Amino acid sequence: MTAGAADPCVAEILGDPAFARLKGLVIETTGMAFYRDKDEDLARILSARMGCLGLSTCFEYLVQLQNPATPGAEMDELVAELTIGETYFFRHKEQFDALREVILPDVIERNTPFKRLRIWSAGCATGPEPYSIAIMLEREFGRLIEGWNVTILGTDINQKFLNRARDGRYDEWAFRVMPETLRTQCFEPVGRQWQIRPQFKRFVRFQYHNLIANPFPSIIDNIAGFDVIICRNVIIYFSKETVEALVPCFRETLTEGGWLIMGHSEPNQDLFRDFRTVNTPGAVLYRRDDGHSRRNAAARPSPPPPPPMLPASSVLPKLAKLTGTAVPPPPPPLLPPRPSSLGSAKPKPRAKIKAQPLFSPQPDSPPVADGMEEMRRLADSGQWEAATAACDKAITATPLNPVAHFYRAMLFEQAGDLEECEKSLRRAIYLDRRFVLPHYHLGLFLSRRDDPVGARRSFRNVLTLLECAADDQLVVQGDSITAGKMREAVAMHLKLVGEA
């Protein structure tokens, strides 16, 4: 990046009265507590960004970051400079050996009856991690998973990295530990770069996800029910408190028996005490084993009252306290928030979801059928068959319920039944045109199906429906997604489908 001639200098930024607020916002948004004691590094990055925009004070830059006319755009630019995307193919061989020898054989055997496999690379940077898994799966397990519904989802907070990941084109340096013969089999040379061959791309999808701000598990975000989660060299930049709040979320996002792979030099195994630890040569793996965590809880000597395990959305106020920034109280939810099952041995009964879409204020909106909360819990933990049965039951009981049809669409998507997924989304919209989420998901669905015109129409419908909503208003059924965040996501997707 080239900074403009009039960049405010680092010393000016460090002495600016709004610097602390700016720093707090950065850490709050990204979780990167790493910058807590790196004021000069941060000031250098801010100086360059502010120079590009011709701004001279931190206050002006804060205003720009929150400019409602270009939601999230400058934050994306800043995040692109703040995040560190060091990555390469088959990084840390011992963990890939463990995938090949232990993890994939286990999940393939257990999932054979359903022919479904879901893997999440959280903090995937420019993509070598999910593509390495795809290469291993295709080459070494291809015959076993023929005809399966396989998803390898790469997510990141850095939109620029995600765009490069989607392109799948890499410099020599990304192959530093990959044998040349393997590279030639899996990549085509393009000038001085290498392009991944289509057969190794077909399972892999990339999606924006901020581990700090977007709560998970969430079937609505497609972050639910994974057989394997790999999150390496990401949480090293987060504070201990943030990591403590994230680990239970990872656990809840795995299927029973699912596997978690963290970076090999990371962290304190005690954080993962609710997992079963499995040691393989040169790697430590964590496995969700609900029987194990119950035994573990029982075996702990007179436990002190555990700190509440916070869902990811609750990480923000904690960080603000640490960074000394004031966080506005969260907006009152328009629906009771989906209670987290984290942190209490006995999950509290969830509040009933009401189908009173915020942007659909008809007093006579149909109530959501009984059993939807249970369906949601089953779906979030990847118990797809049971979740589908619960959803079908709800639809039989209240066939005109838009929320039930919307969830059915999400389940069809997981099952790879795209035709039924689209039908259910359209049915949910037909039943309540002002229900925002089905429009949004129809937009995603159509952009994946290469229908940019339809996708643009759906995304514009979302913007129209959100027109009068304040940024901090919660979107109905959207977990903690606010209208502001949804507008940002839509703006980004509109860009991807080619809206000027």
Binding site for ligand SAM (CB under 6 A): 30-32, 83-87, 91, 123-125, 129, 156-158, 161, 210-212, 232-234
Provide the minimum distance between the beta carbon of 132 and ligand SAM in the complex, in angstroms, as a whole number.
Answer: 9
Instruction: Write out the two tokens for 345.
Output: 């041995």
Residue 226's closest CA among 198, 254, 246?
A: 254
Instruction: Write out the two tokens for 101.
Output: 């020898």
Instruction: Please say which residue, 127 or 357, places its beta carbon nearer to ligand SAM.
Output: 127
Instruction: Please say which residue, 266 or 374, places its beta carbon nearer to ligand SAM.
Output: 266
Q: Phi first, then psi: give them for residue 301, nearest 5 degrees.
A: -70, 135
Q: Which residues of 52-70 are buried (b: 16+ CB within 10 A; e: fewer)?
A: eeebbbbeebeebbeeeee
Provide the minimum distance between the beta carbon of 363 and ligand SAM in the complex, in angstroms, as a whole number.
Answer: 39
Instruction: Please say which residue, 157 or 446, places its beta carbon nearer to ligand SAM.
Output: 157
Provide the minimum distance between the beta carbon of 156 and ligand SAM in the complex, in angstroms, as a whole number.
Answer: 5
329 exposure class (CB count in 10 Å sphere: 0-12, 13-18, 19+): exposed
The reply to whether omega before 217 is within 30° of 0 (cis) is yes
Provide the minimum distance between the beta carbon of 393 and ligand SAM in the complex, in angstroms, as a whole number.
Answer: 36
Residue 257's closest CA among 293, 281, 222?
A: 293
Instruction: Please say which residue, 83 or 458, places its beta carbon nearer to ligand SAM.
Output: 83
Provide the minimum distance between the beta carbon of 91 and ligand SAM in the complex, in angstroms, as a whole number.
Answer: 5
Chain-centre distance of CA 21, in angstroms?
A: 26
Chain-centre distance of CA 211, in angstroms?
A: 6
Cβ-contact 480, 451 below 8 angstroms: no
71: three-class secondary structure by DSSP: coil
Instruction: Please say which residue, 110 or 160, places its beta carbon nearer to ligand SAM.
Output: 160
As a whole number of angstroms, the distance between CA 223 and CA 226 comes to 8
Write the CA distances from 485 to 66, 213, 253, 283, 400, integer angstroms: 11, 10, 22, 38, 29
Provide the minimum distance between the beta carbon of 158 and ligand SAM in the complex, in angstroms, as a whole number.
Answer: 4
Provide the minimum distance between the beta carbon of 249 and ligand SAM in the complex, in angstroms, as a whole number.
Answer: 12
Instruction: Please say which residue, 82 or 437, places its beta carbon nearer to ligand SAM.
Output: 82
Write the CA distances from 76 to 64, 65, 205, 223, 225, integer angstroms: 12, 9, 20, 21, 28
Provide the minimum distance between the beta carbon of 232 and ligand SAM in the complex, in angstroms, as a whole number.
Answer: 4
Provide the minimum distance between the beta carbon of 127 and ligand SAM in the complex, in angstroms, as a whole number.
Answer: 9
Instruction: Please say which residue, 229 or 234, places its beta carbon nearer to ligand SAM.
Output: 234
**Which of the 8 DSSP states describes residue 417?**
-
Residue 216's closest CA among 204, 205, 231, 203?
A: 231
Write the CA distances from 346 to 136, 166, 350, integer angstroms: 40, 42, 12
| β-pair partners for 193 | 190
Instruction: Please say which residue, 174 or 387, places its beta carbon nearer to ligand SAM.
Output: 174
Instruction: Please say which residue, 233 or 356, places its beta carbon nearer to ligand SAM.
Output: 233
As a whole number of angstroms, the distance between CA 88 and CA 177 comes to 8
Instruction: Please say which residue, 158 or 239, places its beta carbon nearer to ligand SAM.
Output: 158
Provide the minimum distance between the beta carbon of 334 and ligand SAM in the complex, in angstroms, as a whole number.
Answer: 26
